[in-house]
A and B are shown apart, each in its own frame.
Chain A
Amino acid sequence: MAVKSGETKRPMWLNVFGISCLILFGVATFLGLVTSPPDVNQGDLIRVMYAHVSVVWVGFVAVIMTAIFGMLFLWRSKAMDDVWAVASAEMALIYFALAIIGGMTYSKPTLGVFWDWDAKLTLTALEFALLVGYFIVRGLLDDPKQRARISAVVSIIVLASLPFNWMAAKWFRTLHPSKSFDMTSSGVKDTMAPIFRNILLFNVAVAALIFIYFLFERVRLGRLEVKAEALEDSIQPRSEVVRV
């Protein structure tokens, strides 16, 4: 478990990847703000949609990844599974926060209110609270195994609520608009003009790349943390926690 010299440095390929993400983010923003035509009903407000929808979609993926690595940890207790889980959980929390902020920005001028407790928004608030809980739980527990196990269970609970959020506008009556792309019994529904759809998909792809960049960076740091913890333990064995 020795830390080799140079191992603490961020590798070159990750730097290049990060800078590429930044450039692509600029392109995606240009496409959304300049290239995209206005919407026939919403006008320029449609531009908020690109930011809002892309962070939501990637946020959902981040939650799914957190739960998958949580389940892997429960299955085989590998420290690195927990590292991957935390890395994606941090991104899930940030993307959910961005989704809520962007959603409120978008909602006020189009729907008329910043926030309302419809099924979709309520579930999003619940999931955000659970993600915050995930980190509170981790902060409270010192034993790495126990910390990883309990937070994994929290992430699985968030995952269980995700399909309800995804399908909320279809299953319940919500203020939030329905999905423009949808699988229906009569095939794929797509009610978004191709120019909007293409720019949206580009924005989603860039949001995903930014997620991947921070995921790799956080896993790199997490791996060092695991090694540092092991080193500390080898010098001075962890004292038993006294329970009152």
Chain B
Amino acid sequence: MKKLIYGIAGVVILGIAGALIYKALNSSLVYFILPNEYAAHPDQYKNRRIRLGGLVEAGSVKYDDKNLQLAFEITDSIKTYPVTHVGAPPELFKEGTGIVVEGHFEGQTFKSDQLLIKHSEVYKPPVDGQPIDIKMLKDTLQ
């Protein structure tokens, strides 16, 4: 009987602790914000270092490999912002992939100093017989 009471008390306490952890993690560990969330309250993030998460907009990537200037657009399909980043793009960086950029807004442009990849959970081997991208191959060999 005593053990049963302890058992029930234990489960209740663990449940409360769990709910609190969940709440704390949910509110304070917002790892990144989405472009539309920034757009809704730009003043809240003014002059603050933020992480912006979204997808690399198709057709928006421009990379100047002489000066390591990377420019692209980040989107959550509601709101899109231009991003500039100094440095070479990571290996998995490409159009349509998930990314998290760290930095701050200057006007409507996001100045990023760290570019992280948040890739999808889709894993598949390359398709056989896919034509080789000759241009990419030439670029690599140069």
Contact = CB atoms under 8 A, between A and B. Distances in A.
Interface of A: 37-43, 46, 49, 75, 109-113, 116-119, 122-123, 156, 160-161, 163-164, 171-175, 177-180, 191-193, 195-196
Given A191-B123, A192-B123, A195-B125, A164 B116 contact: no
B91 interface: yes
B91 to A, nearest CB: 6
A101 to B, nearest CB: 20
B25 A46 contact: no
A242 B118 CA distance: 56
Nearest to A41: B92
Contacts of B124: 39-40, 192-193, 196
Contacts of B18: 160, 163-164
Contacts, number: 103
B22 A164 contact: yes
B118 A164 contact: no
Given A118-B31, A192-B124, 4 more contacts: A40-B124, A117-B29, A118-B29, A191-B121
Nearest to A120: B31
Given A119-B25, A156-B14, A171-B26, A112 B115 contact: yes
B136 interface: no
B121 A173 contact: no
Contact of B21 (A37, A164, A192): A164
A42 B125 CA distance: 10
B99 to A, nearest CB: 9
Nearest to B120: A177
Nearest to B30: A173
Contacts of B68: none
Q: By CB atoms of chain A within 10 A, which of B18, B30, B124 has the most?
A: B124
Contacts of B114: 112-113
A195 B125 CA distance: 9
A173 B97 CA distance: 16
A193 B90 CA distance: 24
Contacts of B94: 41
B9 interface: no
Given A110-B117, A112-B116, A164 B123 contact: no
